[in-house]
Amino acid sequence: MTETISYVGLPKFEIEVPNSLEEALNLLHIHQTNCKPLAGGTDLLVDLRHRLIQPNVIIDVKNIPELKKLEFTPNELTIGAAVPISEVLTLSQIKTYYTALYQALNDMCDEILRNRATIGGNIATASPAADTAGPLYTHQAVVEVQSKSKGSRLIAIDKFFKGVKKSDLAPDELIVSINMPKPTINTKSAFMKMKRGAEDLALVGAAGSHNQEHTYLGFTAVAPTPVFLDISNLIIEKKISENVFQSIWKEIDSKISPITDVRSSRDYRIHITEILTRLILKEIIL
């Protein structure tokens, strides 16, 4: 039958659907840079459509039990790399203990795409605007990855992003899960993003968490990679004076390098980063 949709179709590729982690790692080992894992496809299919990537083999990772795990134990939260965001949001503990992540997920993409999009795909894409990056840092997430050549290794989220769309993942490595320790009782966290319309990418994203020992901040869309800061040593009292804020802002300002693009100018992004930092600090320290 003739094709009625005239818009360019997807480039040619073969599909593999491994049912076990071992099988998937073997396929990645064989195909290396000629293959790409597929989770929700909300980034991958767009990149394929625009010919930004042209792998010979697509490896659907949604049938691998380890990547479908979603579990909250007394010590930590484990989110399998292929669990769709809508499913993550059904776990009640996300809202209670991981508020920043909850707020980011609840507003990510849109209600329809959340049925497909995953946290694993979000960080693997390594966009400077990845909404989950800031919250994952403030919750001190560790990413478990596996490959046939290197076995299993853990990457702290602040070591994961290496550049625009570049991560620490080797071509044959698969993200298995994202793990976060259970926060102590008095931890507060929050996420906010500034965007133009209902489902546009963030102009600036900001996340923070605070308890007696630690205060962490994470920013997205303000540099080639997400920007993470441990400002625990700057929080000397329960209240943030203007002086203390200025010392925090000085650290942030030295680390961010926003660009001017269709969404916003550099100056506006810097201004918004400052406003969001004030709002986040007010939310988490009180």
Ligand X SMILES: Cc1cc2nc3c(=O)[nH]c(=O)nc-3n(C[C@H](O)[C@H](O)[C@H](O)COP(=O)(O)OP(=O)(O)OC[C@H]3O[C@@H](n4cnc5c(N)ncnc54)[C@H](O)[C@@H]3O)c2cc1C
Which residue ranges make up the site for ligand X (CB under 6 A)?
A: 36-44, 46, 61, 67, 81, 108-109, 113, 116-118, 120-122, 124-125, 129-131, 169, 174-175, 199, 201
Q: In this complex, which beta carbon is closest to other proteins, that of residue 12 or of residue 238? A: 12
Instruction: Rule CB under 8 A: choose which of 33, 49, 96, 196 binds other proteins.
Output: 49
Give the start-end residues of each E strand in the chain.
14-16, 35-38, 57-60, 70-72, 76-80, 142-147, 151-156, 161-163, 166-167, 174-181, 188-194, 204-210, 215-220, 227-230
Give the one entry of other proteins, ligand X, none that residue 36 binds, where binding means its C-beta sits below a cut-off of 5 to 8 angstroms depending on kind. ligand X
Give the one entry of other proteins, ligand X, none that residue 39 binds, where binding means its C-beta sits below a cut-off of 5 to 8 angstroms depending on kind. ligand X
Beta-ladder partners of 14: 57
Give the one entry of other proteins, ligand X, none that residue 198 binds, where binding means its C-beta sits below a cut-off of 5 to 8 angstroms depending on kind. other proteins
Report CA-CA distances (Å) from 269 to 21, 49, 162, 221, 265. 42, 30, 21, 9, 6
Sole window of 11-19, 90-98, 159-167, 266-274 interacting with other proteins (rule: CB under 8 A): 11-19
> What is the C-alpha to C-alpha distance for residues 176 and 66, in angstroms, rounded to an integer?
7
> What is the C-alpha to C-alpha distance for residues 186 and 155, in angstroms, rounded to an integer?
26
Please tell me whether residue 15 binds other proteins under the rule CB under 8 A. yes
Give the one entry of other proteins, ligand X, none that residue 10 binds, where binding means its C-beta sits below a cut-off of 5 to 8 angstroms depending on kind. other proteins
Beta-ladder partners of 161: 167
Closest separation in Å from C-beta 105 to other proteins: 13
Tell which positions 17-36 bind other proteins, by CB under 8 A.
17
Helices (H) and strands (E) in the chain, counts: 9, 14
> What is the C-alpha to C-alpha distance for residues 106 and 1, in angstroms, rounded to an integer?
41
Sole window of 5-13, 64-72, 163-171, 267-275 interacting with other proteins (rule: CB under 8 A): 5-13
